[in-house]
Structure 1
Amino acid sequence: MAIFSQEIYKVVTIGLNALELSQASGKTPRNPVSEAHYLSAWVTKSLKQQSFDRSVVKTLMMWQQQGRSMGKNAQLKLNFECLAETFSGVVNAEGEEKHITHTTLQGFYAALEHDDWLITKEFEVNRKVTHFTDGQASLVVCSNQLQNAFDEQGELVKPLSLYVRGNIQPFIDLAFASGLLLFKVTDYKSKVKYHGEFVIYPANNGEHLPELPTRNL
Structure 2
Amino acid sequence: MDTSNLYVDHLAWCGLIALNMARQAGAVSSAAQENLFLCRWLATAEKKRLFRRELANDIRWLLREGREKGLRADLPGKLEYLWRASSSDLLAQNDLFRLQHVMHAITLTGINYGVLTESDWEGRQALKMNPKIPAVFLRKSDLETGFDEQGSLIKPLATRITAELSAVDALLSRAGWKRKADVDDPLLHLLITDIQ
Pick the TM interval, shorter chain.
0.3 to 0.5
User: RCO (CA 8 Å, sep 6+): is it higher in 1 or 2?
Assistant: 1
Question: Which has the larger share of helix?
Answer: 2
TM-score relative to the length of structure 2:
0.46
